[in-house]
Amino acid sequence: MAVSTPALLSLDRALPWQDEQWQQLCRLLNSDRLPHAILLSGAQDTGKRHFATRFIQRLFCTAPVDDVACGECKQCRLYLSGAHPDFKRVEPEAAGKAISINAIRELSEFAVITAHQQSWKVALVAPVEAMTLNAANAFLKTLEEPREKTLLLLVHDQLAPVLPTIRSRCRVLSQGLPPPALVRDWLAGQLGDASAAVDDLLARAGGRPLRALEFAEANTLDDIARFEQVLQQVQAGEAAPVSAAAAFEGQPLNQLMEWLLAYYSRQLIASAQRGGGAEPRQFVFYDLLLSTRKKQQSKTNLNPQLVLEELFLSLSQSA
């Protein structure tokens, strides 16, 4: 599988909020002090996978310029085509699924094989919290037996905790939400647009830059606006919750949950900024949103339509 990034984002472009950590890793690499396992931990859609992908290419590249992969050498071409024999990607087979123990066993076998290209061997595990408990325990053995010039690069989206025994064996690089002004300038540069649309994208993406970029590429704002209009109607008593929920039957629940969380978070912030604070019933609804998302992340088998109906009913009572 070829390396993929959002359409507007190329691998030769650094994300400005990651410069310091990029330089830190490159210094470790250039001084032969790179740890055998690195955990990139932070909010979703802030560029952790982009960072990991660029760094892996830098490891393989035979002609880097200023610590950036050249993109032209044989090793870069192999990696970018998805055919590099010394790279292994470990991820769920489908969104929302777990990383199985079989996938970790394959990783363990990969880790002990001699490198084909006489250079680095790298495995990318993303997201690490998707591993089942058995898979995580099996992964520990690979972590505990580091091999020379083999890097295990783990991405943690913070949707669930990482086992302390895994975390303690890694160099942890924490990547929180980047500064809003920096993100706004970057997104405006990506889109060639410094208008209020950039602020709208970031607001609906919860300040997560790559999610905002994805929204722009997919022209998602109109869909979100229609969804939020229905939410407003439900809150105002202008739409029956059950029939309003039926209008979104078949749409991915995780997507609707994301939009609903962003919408309601903005309402709570607006209430606080007005000085009066949020009402207790608003926090009851917000707690329901968070607990529902937690059930999703724990792979609980939910009926999407029933969940949406329950949320819309509760939303109508929170106004």
CB 46, CB 208: distance < 8 Å = yes
Q: What is the mean pLDDT of the chain?
A: 90
pLDDT of residue 178: 94
Is residue 21 over pLDDT 50? yes
- 141 or 217, higher pLDDT: 141
- Helix, strand and coil percent figures for the chain, each rounded to 5: 55, 10, 35
- Whether residue 319 is predicted with pLDDT greater than 80 in this model: the reply is no
Q: Which domains does the chain have, with CATH numbers?
A: 16-175 (3.40.50.300), 220-318 (1.20.272)
Which tokens belong to 139? 């992964």
- Residues contacting residue 34 through CB under 8 Å, at least 6 positions apart: 25, 28, 151
Per-residue model confidence (pLDDT) at position 159: 75
Looking at residue 221, its pLDDT comes to 85
Gap between the Cα atoms of 64 and 69, Å rounded: 5
Report, as an integer, the average pLDDT of 300-309. 88
pTM for the whole structure:
0.80
The whole-number pLDDT of residue 7 equals 46
What are the tens digits of pLDDT across the range 87-131?
A: 999 999 887 789 999 999 999 999 999 999 888 999 999 999 999
Q: What percent of the chain has pLDDT over 70?
A: 93
182-208 pLDDT, tens digit per residue, is: 999 999 988 887 666 898 899 889 899
What six digits make up the tokens of 156?
């943690």
Using DSSP's 3-state secondary structure scheme, residue 173 falls into: strand
Q: Hunting for tokens 């939009």 — which residue is that?
A: 259
Query: Hey, what's the torsion of the CAs at 248, 254, 259, 263, to 10 degrees?
Result: 110
pLDDT(3) > 70: no
Structure tokens belonging to residue 222: 């109109």
